[in-house]
């Protein structure tokens, strides 16, 4: 890693020399250099768009860039919850919006879908320190506008990479805090060269031991950009990504084990040994496999083109290619060896080390044209992508077996997915009057085609009367989705009122197909989901006061809801429910009490129900019973935040308190299988000063969980019957008590 930083420093010196007065032409101050983020026409919403939306401020982005993942910043917006496995907001983080999980939240960067096409999840640690490279972040709640990739069933997060500077500049950033959390980052930008070109690069390392035992994280990332700015044409070629190595902590911890061993305990990688350095409560000696890790490399490449033909027409085209390669290292104690068909042995059980591997390729293109007049904004275009990903597993060691007894792969399967869409979107200003008075009609129609194929053998061993076989995979599904959206908005000076209705569809994930056998009593396929989303909102914006209220009613058919169970890789097991809904009110307020003090708050009050729920989980104690209207799993009825923002001179402070109501792991409202409500407060302090050389030095201190609240941000659980007895199993992800992360950033 040090070699990379040395090379980066040499590049900085080279850029500086090239940008000196002898080599670099002075900017013509009479010419406007528009170095804004390359525009993306397909995913962002405007003020007049009838969509519930929030934009993160640049200050909020900077405050969250000390080392924690982007979900920590997203949790500042209404109805959003961030979860984390390691307990400190670094590593395996995720988000939920209006009770829907990350697989239903569409994430794009420059219009390119970032959700994995197979699992539909956005793995934030696969693009480490992404927050330091984004320029705009917009959260749309509900179905939103037409987007690329998997459907937005809870909302979407549309991001663009940061604007390139016309001046030579750079930064160096260092962070250190609790649990050996550390970050080192350097950034350099050439400024405008030859009136047209900019080169920009960033290199980052983030590490942490984590709050959870062995919850270590080692992340390395880069961002490299080349920008061309012409009079009518803007082009960005960018590559970003990095490598991630995280200890596997996804199994959580039970309440009983927390009582015995503490909140930091988990047993991933644990094995029994006669002389182990650790002793369990029953006297058993254990040790831990030190390479029980998730390892992943991801490289994202994008070529973004904007061309303005005249005052009315412009074109946006993006080509993209993403490469990913990753594997789990896992120690399995007393594994049933019959489930590994590549072994030549009669042994029934034995310890082993296994590797679960995947290599994926995603390529495609987005294309959109935009026509605008004083009364009409018309956007139309489409997207096409192709994804391929083989999955396979190998064994490197089995206790008592020679290498010659371990042959080949213990599972092997392939996936391909083709995803295409075409859309047209119009925003028509019916009339414009004085005092910013206007009425807008909005229409958006998207057609989406998905072809998903998976074949081979999966990593699940099927135990039958005739012995053990590996689970066969044979999926070949085509989906044709039509997603219309209609809305109206009225703006009168400081007032904005909107109403909309949207239809969205979504296909099942890989796990919905391959792991359905674990809870389903039949061999049926999962069904695609449909959402009809009704939204209405009002905002009032004045110089010192802003208010907002949004009402939503999200009506689902065949919604895939979490059962509380997870598969071997911590993917939630979902089941279709015929009829369900989410409805609620989102309240927002911001008051600029003084020039140096702003007080903000938001709250979501909701009801999330399955209508006339029938328990169809084959091993459930209530299998086959009609339970009536039940609360949807992982859907709190109350989420609220209070934010106090101080700015005095170079000093800043932000206080953020968030309350999240109780969440059930399952859909039959079992108290033992629930996540307690929690309230947590974070405090972020900063001080900026400018040196005589016009450099800015910023000091920051993030104090997380200020009052050391003992809480868990996530978990899972399930019920089953065994020998006539009912068992409720629940596992949790505890969060760290008060912890600190200090940062110093020098901008030049």
Specify the higher pLDDT residue, 20 or 711. Answer: 711
Q: What is the pLDDT of residue 33?
A: 41
Strands (E), 542-667: 545-566, 572-594, 597-614, 626-631, 638-648, 651-660, 663-664
Average pLDDT, the chain: 91
| Claim: this prediction has a pTM higher than 0.85 | yes
CATH fold of the domain at 173-747: Maltoporin; Chain A (2.40.170)
Q: Which backbone phi and psi does 649 adopt, to 5 degrees? A: 60, -125
Residue percentage of the chain with pLDDT more than 70: 94
Spatial contact of 534 and 501, defined as CB atoms under 8 Å apart: yes
Q: How confident is the model at residue 399 (pLDDT cuts 50, 70, 90)?
A: very high
Cα–Cα distance, 602 to 71 (Å, whole number): 17
Q: How confident is the model at residue 10 (pLDDT cuts 50, 70, 90)?
A: very low
Per-residue pLDDT, averaged over 399-412, amounts to 92
Model confidence over 243-279: pLDDT tens digits?
999 999 999 999 999 999 999 999 999 999 988 899 9
Cα–Cα distance, 314 to 40 (Å, whole number): 11
Spatial contact of 403 and 359, defined as CB atoms under 8 Å apart: no
- Cross-strand bridge partners of residue 452: 417, 477
Q: Please name the residue that has the structure tokens 């506008």.
A: 145
* Residue 58 clears pLDDT 90, i.e. is over it: no
Spatial contact of 52 and 140, defined as CB atoms under 8 Å apart: yes
Q: What is the pLDDT of residue 452?
A: 98
Strands 169-177 and 155-161: unpaired
* Residue 14 clears pLDDT 90, i.e. is over it: no
Q: Please name the residue that has the structure tokens 């401020």.
A: 57
* Residue 572 clears pLDDT 60, i.e. is over it: yes
Model confidence over 133-151: pLDDT tens digits?
888 999 999 998 888 877 7
Cα–Cα distance, 498 to 459 (Å, whole number): 49
Q: Please name the residue that has the structure tokens 């999330």.
A: 608
Strands 674-675 and 651-660: unpaired
Spatial contact of 401 and 335, defined as CB atoms under 8 Å apart: no
C-alpha distances out from residue 210 to 85, 260, 348, 570, Å:
9, 20, 36, 19
The token duo for 432 is: 């414009």
Cα–Cα distance, 287 to 273 (Å, whole number): 7
Q: What is the pLDDT of residue 253?
A: 97
Q: How confident is the model at residue 417 (pLDDT cuts 50, 70, 90)?
A: very high
Strands 155-161 and 197-208: unpaired
Cα–Cα distance, 225 to 364 (Å, whole number): 19
Per-residue pLDDT, averaged over 661-690, amounts to 96
Residue 732's nearest CA partner among 80, 87, 72 is 87
Q: What is the pLDDT of residue 391?
A: 97
Q: What is the pLDDT of residue 90?
A: 92
Number of Cβ within 10 Å of residue 57's Cβ equals 14
Model confidence over 39-54: pLDDT tens digits?
565 677 888 899 999 9
Residue percentage of the chain with pLDDT more than 90: 79
CA angle, 636 then 640 then 645, to 5°:
155
Model confidence over 107-127: pLDDT tens digits?
999 999 999 999 999 999 888
Cα–Cα distance, 603 to 259 (Å, whole number): 34
Cα–Cα distance, 342 to 410 (Å, whole number): 5
In the sheet where 270-272 sits, what is the strand order? 270-272, 285-288, 278-279
Cα–Cα distance, 201 to 226 (Å, whole number): 9
Cα–Cα distance, 145 to 442 (Å, whole number): 10
* Residue 11 clears pLDDT 50, i.e. is over it: no
Cα–Cα distance, 9 to 519 (Å, whole number): 55
């Amino acid at each position: 890693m040090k070699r990379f930083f040395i090379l980066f420093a040499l590049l900085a010196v080279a850029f500086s020399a090239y940008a000196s007065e002898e080599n670099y032409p002075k900017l013509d101050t009479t010419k406007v250099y528009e170095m804004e983020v390359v525009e993306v026409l397909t995913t962002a919403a405007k003020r007049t768009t009838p969509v519930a939306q929030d934009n993160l401020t640049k200050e909020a982005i900077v405050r969250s860039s000390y080392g924690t993942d982007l979900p920590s910043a997203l949790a500042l917006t209404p109805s959003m919850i961030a979860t984390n496995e390691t307990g400190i907001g670094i590593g395996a983080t995720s988000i939920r919006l209006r009770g829907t999980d990350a697989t239903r939240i569409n994430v794009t960067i420059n219009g390119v879908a970032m959700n994995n096409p197979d699992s539909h999840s956005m793995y934030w640690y696969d693009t480490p320190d992404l927050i330091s490279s984004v320029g705009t972040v917009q959260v749309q709640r509900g179905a939103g506008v037409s987007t690329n990739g998997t459907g937005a069933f809870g909302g979407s997060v549309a991001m663009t990479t940061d604007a390139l500077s016309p001046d030579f500049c750079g930064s160096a950033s260092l962070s250190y805090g609790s649990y050996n959390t550390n970050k080192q980052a350097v950034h350099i930008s050439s400024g405008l060269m030859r009136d047209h070109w900019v080169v920009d690069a960033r290199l980052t390392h983030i590490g942490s031991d984590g709050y959870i035992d062995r919850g270590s994280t080692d992340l390395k990332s880069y961002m490299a950009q080349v920008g061309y700015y012409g009079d009518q044409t803007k082009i960005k070629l960018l590559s970003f990504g990095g490598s991630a190595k995280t200890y596997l902590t996804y199994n959580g911890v039970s309440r009983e084990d927390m009582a015995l061993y503490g909140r930091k305990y988990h047993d991933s990688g644990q094995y029994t040994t006669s002389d182990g350095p650790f002793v369990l409560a029953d006297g058993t000696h254990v040790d831990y496999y030190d390479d029980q890790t998730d390892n992943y490399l991801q490289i994202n490449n994008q070529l973004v083109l904007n061309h303005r033909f005249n005052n009315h027409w412009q074109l946006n085209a993006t080509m993209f290619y993403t490469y990913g390669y990753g594997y789990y290292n896992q120690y399995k104690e007393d594994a049933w060896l019959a489930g590994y068909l590549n072994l030549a042995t009669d042994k029934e059980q034995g310890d082993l080390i296994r590797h679960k591997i995947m290599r994926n390729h995603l390529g495609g293109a987005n294309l959109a044209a935009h026509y605008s007049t004083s009364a009409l904004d018309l956007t139309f275009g489409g997207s096409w992508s192709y994804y391929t990903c083989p999955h396979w597993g190998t064994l490197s060691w089995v206790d008592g077996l020679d290498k010659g007894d371990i042959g080949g792969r213990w599972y092997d399967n392939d996936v391909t997915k083709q995803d295409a869409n075409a859309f047209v979107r119009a925003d028509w200003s019916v009339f414009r009057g004085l005092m910013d008075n206007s009425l807008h009609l909005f229409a958006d129609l998207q057609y989406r085609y998905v072809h998903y194929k998976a074949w081979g053998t999966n990593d699940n061993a099927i135990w039958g009367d005739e012995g053990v076989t590996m689970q066969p995979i044979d999926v070949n599904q085509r989906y044709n989705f039509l997603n219309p959206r209609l809305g109206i908005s009225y703006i009168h000076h400081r007032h904005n009122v909107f109403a909309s209705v949207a239809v969205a569809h979504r296909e099942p994930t890989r796990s919905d197909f391959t792991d359905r056998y674990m809870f389903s009593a039949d061999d049926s396929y999962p069904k695609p989901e449909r959402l009809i989303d009704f939204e209405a909102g009002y905002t009032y914006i004045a110089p010192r006061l802003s208010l907002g209220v949004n009402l939503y009613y999200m009506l689902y058919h065949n919604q895939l809801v979490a059962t509380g169970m997870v598969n071997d890789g911590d993917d939630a097991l979902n089941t279709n429910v015929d009829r369900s809904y989410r409805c609620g009110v989102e309240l927002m307020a911001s008051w600029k009490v003084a020039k140096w003090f702003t007080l903000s708050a938001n709250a979501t009050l909701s009801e999330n129900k399955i209508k006339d729920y029938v328990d169809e989980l084959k091993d459930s104690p209530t299998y086959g019973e009609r339970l009536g209207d039940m609360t949807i799993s992982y859907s709190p009825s109350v989420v609220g935040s209070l934010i106090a923002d101080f700015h005095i001179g170079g000093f800043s402070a932000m206080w953020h308190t968030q309350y999240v109501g109780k969440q059930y792991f399952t859909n039959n409202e079992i108290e033992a299988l629930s996540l307690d409500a929690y309230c947590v407060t974070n405090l972020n302090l900063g001080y900026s000063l400018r040196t005589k050389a016009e450099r800015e030095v910023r000091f920051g201190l993030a104090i997380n969980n200020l009052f050391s609240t003992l809480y868990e941000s996530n978990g899972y659980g399930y019920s089953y019957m065994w020998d006539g007895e009912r068992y409720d199993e629940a596992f949790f992800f505890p969060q760290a008590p008060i912890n600190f992360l200090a940062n110093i950033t020098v901008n030049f």
